[in-house]
Amino acid sequence: RGTSTLAVRGGLVTHTAVTNNPNSSAFARGVLGVYMDGGTLEHSIISDNPFYGDRAEAGALWQKGGTVRDCRIERNTVANQCVDVVAGVRISGGTFERCVVGYNKETKGGAITVTAGVKVDGSATVRNVLIVGNETVATAANSVGGLAVTANGADVCHVTVLNNLTSATIGGLRLT
């Protein structure tokens, strides 16, 4: 979808690096790193992808289905003023497990909702995940540095949320 570097719709993608893919298009929409709606992504790294467009829905990974496991998603940067910004990982479906999501940043502020680390906004399973050191400069009241769970059907367990920062009131965890 949009300007994804890698789209996974089925099959197995393993031992892959998606790194250093800058995008500065004012018209880019979607996800910069990996868009996934099926298949399996494992033992991979999504890192150092800067997005400076105006409509990033996920900076590193947008998972709508399939399985992501044993991956590192780190040091991705989003600077835009879209309505709903996620610098790290947006999970709308599927299974996300045994991953590290760290040091992703939203650097512009101004969006209505900002999540620097992981946002779960659909019926998904998230387990055994470390979310660490993510940061947003956003001052909106519903912005979060670490983990935001906004879906009733989400199953989130055995997740560690550590040292995430925001200029708003919620550094670590937001459940709505």
Q: From start to end of 133-171, where are the E strands?
A: 135-136, 147-149, 155-162, 165-166
Report d(CA 9, CA 98) in Å as an integer.
21
Query: Could you read off the pLDDT of 49-105 as tens digits, one per residue?
Result: 887 766 667 789 999 999 999 999 999 988 766 667 788 999 999 999 999 999 998
User: With bands split at pLDDT 50, 70 and 90, how would you rate the model's confidence at 1?
Assistant: very low
Q: Which long-range contacts (CB under 8 A, 24 or more apart) does 13-17 make?
A: 13/39, 13/40, 13/41, 13/42, 13/44, 14/40, 14/41, 14/42, 14/43, 14/44, 15/43, 15/44, 16/41, 16/44, 16/45, 17/44, 17/45, 17/46, 17/47
pTM, to two decimals: 0.90
Report d(CA 153, CA 163) in Å as an integer.
27
Place of tokens 């399939």: 66
Query: Could you read off the pLDDT of 8-57 as tens digits, one per residue?
Result: 999 999 999 999 887 765 555 566 789 999 999 999 999 998 877 666 67
Place of tokens 């550590």: 162
Name 148's bridge partners.
119, 174
Contacts of 134 (CB under 8 A, 6+ apart): 87, 88, 101, 102, 103, 104, 105, 116, 117, 145, 146, 164, 165
